[in-house]
Amino acid sequence: MVPAARRLSFWRWGYEDVLPDPALLERTLASARAFFGEHAVSAEPRPAPRLEAISLPPPRVSLPAALAAFATIDPHERARHTLGRAYRDIVRGLACDFSCAPDLVAFPEDEADVARLVDHCAGARIAVIPFGGGSSVCGGVEPRVDGHFTGALSLDLSRMGRVLEIDAKSRAACIEAGAFGPAIEDALRPHGLTLRHYPQSFEVSTLGGWIATRSGGHFATLQTHIDDFVESIRVVTPKGTLESRRLPASGAGPQLERLYCGSEGTLGVITRAWMRLQDRPRFRASASLSASDFLAGARAVRALAQSGLHPSNCRLLDPVEAFTSRAGSGAEAVLLVAFESAHHEVDVDLERALACARDHGATLRESTTRDGERRPSQAENWRTAFLHAPYLRDALIQRGLLVETFETAVTWDRFDAFHTALHEETTRAVFERCGAGIVSARITHAYPDGAAPYYTVIAPAPRGHEVAAWDEIKTRVTDAIVRSGGTVTHHHAVGRDLRDAYAREVPREYREMLAAAKHAVDPAGILNPGVLLS
């Protein structure tokens, strides 16, 4: 696990002392050279930005003495709180573009500090950007705020990172919003419990960030988002602190927690939540199957999602993705199915799932079952590779490659046409802008009524036009998504980057309702302005 002394990089994904596996990097660069030509990959990595070379704008605001103790203008912290961790953020970081740095970064120690900071900022018209781990890939934490504000304060919750209370009987825990994934699991493990929420950002993101962005988690079916595990929350707003009641369920009015899931910091600063937990799984069974192609594999995924079996993993890789992740030969799509339980063996469940998948055209490649808390080493390897992939991405970006992902969701009736159109439009956009590229696809989460496809793009970036190129590709892709009936995001949030597309996805009247609800608790509009709503 991560010692407290380690620092998060101010410009790239993750911790300063973590680098991608050199052999994996070399292999990937060699593949890119073979695929795109020697010229596509720089011989040397573009140098990491040095803090000394960055000119941060001078802070426009300061805090009164009583609050100043929580805040800093330290350049490392200001720079680290400027950009998220999307492709366009890494490229801008490499170009030393930190022009919209927050004026201040505050590190409250408890909820009372948060309330005092928010109160002051409301009075002084300082924009407040709630900040967890900073791994946003949609401009959610970037202080891109307009002249209406006197300045911007990045409100970093990371010093509020404790598991405060564990209720083993109800299998729930009260956790501070600034708690990072590993710290949560460390605190729960001795109790035989787990939150079991593993977004790719697990090591570098926080509970508050997960809730605010409706983060997608461990389970591929049934309870796919953090939303289902939020039992109650506490939120600081300029008009007061809200706390919802700990309840397993209720029918009393629209559910408060659901209004805050996906609120992205615009409706208040989440300070803590009671979260529903799982017993730590002990029994595991998994299998990999193959299908002739992605759409054939999707038919098996649909059958599984509609079977009522609720596999914990049900992930489909298209042939390219199977090849690049070393899960397949590249000739076929690969379907990974897994079950787990703390209470009973899951062999029967896997057998039922395999029968179902075979009935729908998939072929078994291999299966394993395990009794005991340790994962099969193959799964452990996959998990490490999954969590470390963004480190690899950033090293590839330094070599001049454009690497980015996006995700959506759509109902089954239009899945085939949607995927085909989206894959084509993405490929076309990438080729037109970059001259070459690889677009691969997977299904990350599956539902009875649809699925969430996830796309990875890798291409030679046009030198000097990296941000513009990706923005153009992303705009075309997002247009295609909105046009074809998908959602602009399945689990990466809207932020500032997708705000205009979001406005086309949801009705105007609903956005006006959200704006009115926001105004009721944030009349000065200081909470993460520009995110979700304009």
The distance of closest approach from Cβ of residue 358 to a copy of itself in the complex, given in angstroms and rounded to an integer, is 13
d(CA 59, CA 73): 8
- In angstroms, what is the minimal distance from the CB of 221 to a copy of itself? 11
Nearer to a copy of itself, 319 or 486 (CB): 486
Q: Which is nearer to a copy of itself, 120 or 492 (CB)?
A: 492
| 317 in Cβ contact with 300 (< 8 Å) | no
Angle between helical axes of 415-434 and 294-305 (0-180°, round to 10): 140
> What SS3 class is residue 243?
strand
Supply the minimum distance, in Å, between the C-beta of residue 98 and a copy of itself. 28
Residue with smaller CB distance to a copy of itself, 26 or 512: 512
Residue 75 or 485: which CB sits closer to a copy of itself?
485
CB of 295 to a copy of itself, least distance (A): 13
Residue nearer to a copy of itself on the CB measure, 431 or 510: 510
92 vs 302 by CB, closer to a copy of itself: 302
Per-residue DSSP letters for 25-88?
HHHHHHHHHHHH-GGGS-SSPPPPPPGGG--PPPPS----HHHHTTEE--HHHHHHTT--SSHH
Minimum CB separation from a copy of itself for residue 515, in Å?
7
- Within 13 Å of residue 307, how many CA atoms lie on the same side as its CB? 24
Sequence-distant (6+) residues with CB within 8 A of 384 are none
Shortest gap between Cβ of 313 and a copy of itself (angstroms)? 15
Q: Cα–Cα distance between 231 and 71 in angstroms, integer?
A: 31
Least distance to a copy of itself, CB of residue 472, Å: 21
Q: How far is CA 266 from the centre of its chain?
A: 18
Our CB check for a copy of itself shows the closer of 18 and 517 to be 517
Strands (DSSP E) contained in 101-141 are 104-106, 126-131
Per DSSP (E only), the strands in 344-430 are 363-371, 401-407, 410-411
Measured CA to CA, the distance from residue 81 to residue 154 in angstroms comes to 7
Nearer to a copy of itself, 93 or 297 (CB): 297
Q: How many CA atoms lie within 13 A of 414 on its CB side?
A: 13
Closest separation between CB of residue 511 and a copy of itself, Å?
8
Q: How far is residue 500's CA from residue 504's CA, in Å, rounded to a whole number?
A: 7
d(CA 458, CA 438): 5
Of 403 and 451, which CB lies nearer to a copy of itself in the complex structure? 451
What's the token pair of residue 191? 């109790």
End-to-end alpha carbon distance in the chain: 39
Q: At what angle do helices 377-398 and 87-94 cross, to 10 degrees?
A: 50
User: CA–CA separation, 257 vs 242, rounded Å?
Assistant: 11
d(CA 450, CA 415) in angstroms, rounded, equals 7
Q: Which is nearer to a copy of itself, 61 or 532 (CB)?
A: 532
Task: Indicate the DSSP class of residue 519.
Answer: H
Name the minimum Å distance from CB 97 to a copy of itself.
Answer: 27
CA–CA separation, 459 and 401 (whole Å):
6
